[in-house]
Amino acid sequence: MSFNLILSSCCSPIKKKKENENQTKFLSIEEVIKEKNSDWAFSNCGVSSSILHFNLKTFNKLTIEFSHDCKAIFPMSSYNNVIDVYWQPQLISSKEYDIVKMIEKHKKHPSKTPFMRFRLKNDSTISVKYYNRDFQNRLNSVDKQRILFPDNFHYLDSNRCKLLNMNLEIDTLNRIIGKSSNTK
């Protein structure tokens, strides 16, 4: 005689993600935040962009990685299946990149209104609404080869994340080499 025991939880309002052989699928924005080391990027491995890191160090902060040695940390809040990100950046960078200069230039104007809002577009894509499109365009204009603040981000599994991080490092090295050869 065999017994099958089925347990269900009525206490958790957050739906659990489904895992299909090699894909992680999210059912709510809350899952995105709670996922340990949840990483998202604009590219599915083409031209690299910035990488979003949720739950990297603290639960209520979003880390945006522009290169391996350049990051900005923003406060965020989540409610009603959206994430609001506020323009109060904390920069961590070993070099004075153009994006760092642009953020520093505009850092003095913190706003109580969100800078951007995330929604889960589908199980592996986050859509972004920017409250100031002109500012988004100015931020994106600092790098002619990459889109640092795109309209969508895609979930990165560990292999795609490693590849994108490698692409970010290659882009950074190419810019450094390009700038040093132009100054000679």
User: What is the DSSP secondary structure assignment for residue 184, as one 8-state letter?
Assistant: -
Percent of the chain with pLDDT over 70: 66
Q: Say if residues 116 and 129 touch (Cβ distance below 8 Å).
A: yes
β-pair type (18-20, 152-155): unpaired
Dump pLDDT digits (tens) for 115-125: 999 999 998 88
Percent of the chain with pLDDT over 90: 39
- Nearest C-alpha neighbor of 145 from the set 43, 70, 44, 73: 43
Residues facing residue 41 across a β-bridge: 51, 154
Dump pLDDT digits (tens) for 10-28: 223 334 444 444 556 788 8
CB-based burial label for 69 (10 Å; 0-12, 13-18, 19+): middle
The pLDDT value given to residue 40: 84
Q: Say if residues 55 and 36 touch (Cβ distance below 8 Å).
A: yes
Name, in order, each residue with C-beta under 8 angstroms of 13's C-beta and a sequence gap of 6 or more. none
Dump pLDDT digits (tens) for 76-99: 999 999 999 999 999 999 999 999
- More confidently predicted of 9 and 104: 104
Range 127-137 average pLDDT:
94
Q: How far is CA 27 from CA 15, 23, 63, 77, 111, in A?
A: 6, 13, 22, 18, 30
CA atoms within 13 A on the CB side of 91: 19
Is pLDDT above 90 for 74? Answer: yes
CB-based burial label for 174 (10 Å; 0-12, 13-18, 19+): exposed
